[in-house]
């Protein structure tokens, strides 16, 4: 795919956020994923050109970070936390069940291109374990069945909404745009906090029991 | 009677707590107005007097860190906020930013004024789309309200999935557009940080604690906590408990007290082991229920307060499985810069995999400890040290369980029993 003139203008504004252009590599890589779906060679070349770097320098950065994908992922990229706490609370069982249910392995993509699967590390939501992420939105307190239902809803083209996130799940490309630092106008959607986040406050206010 | 003291979390139960209107309703941005009218040195002194210490794990006094920035040097200074929360078990900064991003922005304004910086960068981990959205919107709204852009700019920088970038010098390299690998210190960031300029790197919760300190004074903050660990902080309870969640309490509260307040260990089960501050802090057991959870108390008991991530595991949990999984994490996240960590974590994983599968020997336990000895204190940054903590502490308290895997020829535990949905028909 080619990047449009408008895309190039957006990339310029990303670079201008920083005192030194090179700092923009990471948001630019997220931006490339928002247009191409993954980090393409064309995207690497373009970033290198815009920042006056060798393509190898951009590639070196891209390959260090696991969120930059060298090959296409699904429209909905599902991450199952299998770090110790989530794994023990059910993450391992969820991961095994999803592999079986989708017929793909870790880092695999379904043939229809809808869902990809990755085991992920701690996602800072341990009080909601076991946690599943989709396009890096929170799906809290999952079970084997709820996780299967979630991926089924994605394949049916009507994904269930995140537990703590926007009213509807955005696509991988749309999420990548947010991670490039662009505002999609959906910050006010969704809850301000989930139950566990508020538990201490409620106890302090005598609002429990 | 409750020992809880919601300050940061005081208004999280209001549906619009994350908006600028919701924040201003409770005096938001009054503290930054007050601070901007003060002499910067007086702001630093006030934060020093409050006794606030870094909430990212190390517990370094925040005011002292600010005081290290050389003044009158005609160089740009930078504030960098570490929002790359990814230490396993740690889950305080993300809910804080989702519920109230403005308190961090107000803290940034105050800190920038104090250290004479015109630029703050917030480095947030990349795997949290909605939190990034909220923070981005909050920054935009602060600009529209004229709170930013008048000499102080805040830039949101979103990471891309590398635990090591939580290490402050790796974070700086990452922010400069390189692979996130730690730097040799000295020079420390206070002298040569971002773009080789004097830089303060603080955790989200540390900076977010500053507005209340400015508003209420150092004495108020000093009135909470223990002798050397002042103030209140967020404790994150997770795992095999009836009610996990965030608990804001004065430093020095004990796990027993938090469990009593929250509803205890999973009904019908008993506490086996727990982390006081994330997976890099040596494990505790039921004998540590009354350890005061402040910097000194936890340290005296052989661990570290860390991020106050209280991960609770009951008797259904296999400690070897738990430790193997953490070790696989450290192996995966090792940046590869230094040999002890890069090679050592691979060896640790291989030995632990054998042990968990019942293919290990007692000599492997000695080898594990020897490897840990060669990683601890010999690697470039704290990642290597952290990787050894679960191993050495679990062998100390649960050696018999490692042996049981060897004699049993495999894991004697049923993994289903430890899941959240055990007994619920999955």
Please check whether residues A82 and A156 belong to one and the same domain. yes
| A87 & A111 share domain | yes
B32 touches A at CB < 8 Å: no
A50 touches A15 (CB < 8 A) = yes
Encode pLDDT of B200-227 as tens digits: 999 999 999 999 999 999 999 999 999 9
Same domain, A45 and A127: no
Point out which residues pair with B249 in neighbouring strands. B233
CATH number, residue A9? 1.10.10
Asked whether residue A178 is assigned to any structural domain, the reply reads no
Question: Which of B3, B8, B26, B91 is best to mutate for the A interface (most A CBs within 10 A)?
Answer: B91
What CATH number is attached to the domain comprising A149?
3.40.30.10
- The crossing angle, in degrees rounded to 10, of helices B101-115 and B204-216 is 80
Distance CA A116, CA A138 (A): 16
CB of B346 closer than 8 Å to CB of B339 = no
Q: What is the sign of the dihedral through the CA atoms of B210, B125, B172 and B168?
A: positive
Distance between CA atoms of B209 and A69, rounded to whole angstroms?
37
Kindly state whether B85 is in contact with chain A, defined as any CB-CB distance less than 8 angstroms: yes
B126 and A67 within 8 Å at the Cβ level: the answer is yes
Please spell the DSSP secondary structure of B315-361, one letter per residue: TTS-HHHHHHHHHHHHHHH--SSSHHHHHHHHHHHHHHHHHHTT---
Question: Per-residue pLDDT tens for B268-288?
Answer: 999 999 999 999 999 999 999
A167 and A80 in a single domain? The answer is yes
Q: Is B403 exposed, middle or buried (0-12, 13-18, 19+ CB in 10 A)?
A: middle
pLDDT bucket at B2, cuts 50 / 70 / 90: low
Residue A201 belongs to a domain: no
Q: What is the CA radius of gyration of chain B?
A: 22
Write the pLDDT tens digit of every residue in A148-196. 999 999 999 999 999 999 999 999 999 999 999 999 999 999 999 999 9
Q: Would residue A23 count as lying in a domain?
A: yes
Do A80 and A48 fall within a single domain?
Answer: no
Looking at residues A85-103, what average pLDDT do you find? 98
Query: Could you give the CA distance from residue B417 to residue B146 in angstroms, rounded to a whole number?
Result: 55
Same domain, A57 and A87: no
* pLDDT in the model for residue B426: 38
> How big is chain A, counted in residues?
209
Q: Do A25 and A48 reside in the same domain of the chain?
A: yes
Q: Do A130 and B420 touch (CB under 8 A)?
A: yes
In chain A, the residue whose alpha carbon lies closest to the alpha carbon of B121 is A18
The overall average pLDDT reported for chain A is 97
3-state secondary structure of B100: coil
CB A123 within 8 A of CB B127: yes
Same-domain check for residues A165 and A89: yes
- pLDDT over 90 (residue B425): no
Whether A34 is covered by a domain: the verdict is yes
Specify the 3-state DSSP secondary structure of B273: strand
Q: A128: burial class by Cβ within 10 Å (0-12, 13-18, 19+)?
A: buried
Residue A131 lies in a domain: yes
**Predicted pLDDT of residue B1:** 44
Structural domain span for residue A34: 5-62
Computed on alpha carbons and rounded to an integer, the radius of gyration of chain A in Å comes to 19
Is the overall model pTM greater than 0.95, yes or no? yes
Q: What is the mean pLDDT of chain B?
A: 96
Residues A43 and A95 in one domain: no
Element (H, E) at B13: none
B77 touches chain A (CB under 8 A): no
- B128: chain A residues, CB-CB within 8 Å: 123-124, 136, 138
pLDDT tens string A18-60: 999 999 999 999 999 999 999 999 999 999 999 999 999 999 9
Could you report the predicted ipTM of this complex, rounded to two decimals? 0.98
Please state, in angstroms and rounded to a whole number, the distance separating the CA atoms of residues B245 and B236: 6
- The dihedral over CA atoms of A151, A154, A156, A162, expressed in degrees to the nearest 10, equals 100
Structure tokens at A25: 């590599």
Contact A83 B91 (CB under 8 A): no
Please tell me whether residues A87 and A116 are part of one structural domain.
Answer: yes
Mean pLDDT, residues B291-301 taken together: 98
Residue A190 lies in a domain: no
A187 located within any domain: no
| Listed residue (B95, B51, B101) closest to B252, CA to CA | B51
When CB atoms are compared, the residue of A122, A124, A144 closest to B426 is A144
Which residue on chain A is closest to B238 by alpha carbon? Answer: A127
Identify the helix (H) or strand (E) that includes residue B120.
strand B119-124
Q: Sheet with A115-120: list strands edge to edge.
A: A115-120, A76-81, A132-134, A137-139
* Mean pLDDT confidence for B176-190: 96
The closest CB to that of A183, out of B140, B158, B237, belongs to: B140
Residues 6+ positions from A82 with CB-CB distance below 8 Å: A91, A92, A95, A119, A120, A121, B325
Instruction: Give the count of domains, chain A.
Output: 2
Interface test with A, best of B10, B85, B245 (most A CBs within 10 A): B245
Nearest to A88 among B4, B195, B322 (CB): B322
Domains recognised in chain B with CATH numbers: 20-222 (3.40.50.11540), 232-314 (3.10.20.600), 319-415 (1.20.1440.230)
In a domain, A195, yes or no: no
Does the beta-carbon distance from B244 to A129 stay under 8 Å? Answer: yes
| Same-domain status, A9 and A84 | no
pLDDT tens readout for residues B81-111: 999 999 999 999 999 999 999 999 999 999 9
pLDDT digit string (tens) for B361-400? 999 999 999 999 999 999 999 999 999 999 999 999 999 9
Residues A82 and A141 in one domain: yes
């Amino acid at each position: 795919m080619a990047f449009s003139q408008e895309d190039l203008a957006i990339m310029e504004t990303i670079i201008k956020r920083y005192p030194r252009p090179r700092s923009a590599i990471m948001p630019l890589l997220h931006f490339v994923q928002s247009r191409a779906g993954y980090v393409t060679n064309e995207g690497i070349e373009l970033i290198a050109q815009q920042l006056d770097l060798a393509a190898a320098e951009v590639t070196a950065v891209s390959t260090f970070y696991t969120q930059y994908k060298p090959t296409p992922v699904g429209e909905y990229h599902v991450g199952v936390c299998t770090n110790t706490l989530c794994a023990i609370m059910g993450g391992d069982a969820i991961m095994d069940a999803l592999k079986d249910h989708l017929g793909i392995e870790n880092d695999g993509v379904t043939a229809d291109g809808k869902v990809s699967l990755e085991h992920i590390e701690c996602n800072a939501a341990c009080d909601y374990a076991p946690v599943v992420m989709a396009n890096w939105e929170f799906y809290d307190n999952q079970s084997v069945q709820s996780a299967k239902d979630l991926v089924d809803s994605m394949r049916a083209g009507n994904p269930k909404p995140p537990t703590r996130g926007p009213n509807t799940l955005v696509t991988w490309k749309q999420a990548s745009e947010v991670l490039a630092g662009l505002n999609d106008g959906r910050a006010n959607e969704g809850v301000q906090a989930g139950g566990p986040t508020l538990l201490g406050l409620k106890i302090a206010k005598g609002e429990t029991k | 009677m409750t020992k809880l003291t919601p300050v940061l979390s005081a208004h999280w139960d209001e549906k619009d707590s994350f908006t600028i209107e919701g924040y201003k309703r409770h005096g938001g941005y009054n503290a930054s107005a007050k601070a901007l009218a003060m002499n910067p040195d007086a702001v630093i002194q006030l934060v020093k007097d409050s006794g606030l210490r870094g909430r990212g794990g190390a517990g370094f006094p925040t005011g002292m860190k600010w005081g290290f920035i050389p003044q009158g040097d005609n160089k740009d200074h930078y504030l960098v906020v570490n929002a790359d929360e990814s230490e396993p078990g740690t889950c305080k900064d993300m809910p804080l930013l989702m519920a109230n991003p403005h308190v961090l922005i107000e803290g940034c304004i105050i800190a920038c004024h104090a250290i004479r910086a015109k630029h703050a960068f917030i480095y947030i981990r990349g795997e949290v789309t909605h939190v990034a959205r909220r923070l981005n919107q909050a920054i935009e709204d602060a600009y529209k309200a004229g709170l930013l852009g008048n000499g102080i700019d805040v830039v949101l920088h979103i990471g891309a999935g590398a635990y090591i970038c939580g290490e402050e010098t790796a974070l700086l390299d990452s922010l400069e557009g390189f692979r996130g690998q730690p730097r040799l210190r000295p020079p420390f960031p206070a002298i040569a940080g971002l773009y080789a300029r004097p830089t303060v790197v603080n955790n989200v919760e540390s900076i977010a604690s500053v507005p209340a300190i400015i508003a209420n004074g150092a004495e108020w903050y000093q009135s909470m906590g223990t002798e050397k660990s002042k103030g209140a902080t967020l404790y994150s309870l997770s795992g095999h408990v009836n009610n996990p969640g965030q608990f804001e309490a004065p430093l020095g509260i004990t796990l027993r007290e938090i469990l009593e307040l929250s509803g205890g260990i999973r009904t019908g089960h008993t506490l086996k082991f727990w982390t006081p501050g994330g997976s890099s802090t040596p494990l505790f057991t039921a004998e540590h229920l009354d350890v005061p959870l402040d910097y000194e108390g936890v340290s005296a008991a052989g661990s570290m307060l860390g991020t106050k991530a209280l991960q609770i595991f009951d008797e259904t949990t296999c400690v070897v499985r738990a430790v193997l999984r953490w070790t696989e994490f450290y192996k995966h996240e090792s940046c590869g810069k230094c040999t002890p960590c890069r090679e050592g974590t691979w060896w640790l994983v291989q030995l632990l995999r054998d042990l968990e599968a019942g293919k290990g020997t007692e000599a492997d336990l000695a080898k594990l400890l020897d490897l840990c000895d060669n990683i601890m204190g010999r690697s470039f940054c704290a990642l290597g040290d952290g990787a050894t903590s679960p191993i050495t502490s679990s062998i100390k308290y649960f050696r018999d369980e490692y042996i049981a895997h060897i004699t049993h020829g495999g894991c004697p535990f049923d993994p289903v029993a430890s899941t959240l949905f055990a007994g619920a028909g999955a």
